[in-house]
A and B are shown apart, each in its own frame.
Chain A
Amino acid sequence: MEAIFWWVIFPYITLAIMIFGSIYRFAHRQLTWVAPSTEFFEKKWLKIGSPLFHYGLLFAFIGHVMGMVIPKGFYHWIGVSDHMYHILAIYGGGLAGLMIVAGAVILLIRKMTIDRVRVHATFADFFSVISLIIVAGLGVYVTLVYNTTVVAYEYRDTIGPWFRSLFVFQPQYELMRAVPFVFQLHVISAFALFASIPFTRLVHLYSAPVHYLNRPYQQYRSRSAYKRKGI
Chain B
Amino acid sequence: MRVKAQVAMVMHLDKCIGCHTCSVTCKTTWTNRPGTEYMWFNNVETRPGVGYPQEWENQDYYKGGWELKNGKLRLRAGGPITKLMNIFYNPNMGSMDDYYEPWTYDYDHLINSPKSEHLPVARPKSMITGNYMDKPEWGSNWDDDLAGGSEVVSRDPNVKGLQDHIAMEYEKTFMMYLPRICEHCLNPSCVASCPSGALYKRDEDGIVLVDQEECRGWRFCMNGCPYNKVYYNWNTHKAEKCNFCYPRTEAGLPTICSETCVGRIRYIGVVLYDADRVKAAASVEDPQDLYEAQLNCFLDPFDDEVIKAAKEAGINEEWIKGAQESPIYKMAMKWKIALPLHPEYRTLPMVWYVPPLSPIMNHITNEEELNTDGYIPAVDQMRIPISYLASLLSAGDTSVIRKVLLKLTAMRVHMRSVNVGGIDEIGKSKLLEEAGTDVETIEEMARLLGVAKYDERFVIPTGRREMDDDLHYRQGACSLEDLAPPEGLVTFSSERGK
Contacts and interface: CB of A to CB of B under 8 A. Distances in A.
B217 A36 contact: yes
B192 interface: yes
A219 interface: yes
Given A42-B95, A207-B216, A116 B129 contact: yes
Name, among A39, A55, A226, the residue most crowded by chain B CB atoms within 10 Å (CB to CB).
Answer: A39
Interface residues of A, number: 48
B468 interface: yes
B467 interface: yes
Interface stretch (A46-54, A77-85, A86-94, A136-144): A46-54
Nearest to A33: B216
B89 interface: yes
B217 A218 contact: no
B89 A47 contact: yes
Interface string A31-50: 10111111111110011001
Given A47-B91, A212-B80, A40 B234 contact: yes
B contact residues, range: 35 or more
B197 A36 contact: no
A51 B89 contact: yes
A221 B491 contact: no
Nearest to B38: A40
B170 interface: no
Contacts of B214: 30
B383 to A, nearest CB: 39
Given A207-B196, A231-B467, A225 B496 contact: yes
Nearest to A222: B203
A1 interface: no
Contact of A211 (B87, B197, B201, B463): B197
B204 A222 contact: yes
Given A213-B80, A223-B202, 20 more contacts: A34-B237, A39-B89, A39-B90, A41-B96, A47-B91, A50-B89, A51-B88, A115-B129, A120-B234, A120-B235, A207-B196, A207-B216, A210-B84, A212-B84, A217-B191, A218-B192, A219-B197, A224-B469, A224-B497, A229-B469
Contacts of B314: 227
5 contacts: A33-B216, A34-B237, A209-B197, A222-B203, A228-B497
A40 B232 contact: yes
Contacts of B83: 212
B203 A221 contact: yes
Interface string A110-138: 00000110011000000000000000000
Interface in A189-218: 204, 207, 209-213, 215, 217-218
A204 B469 contact: no
Contacts of A42: 95
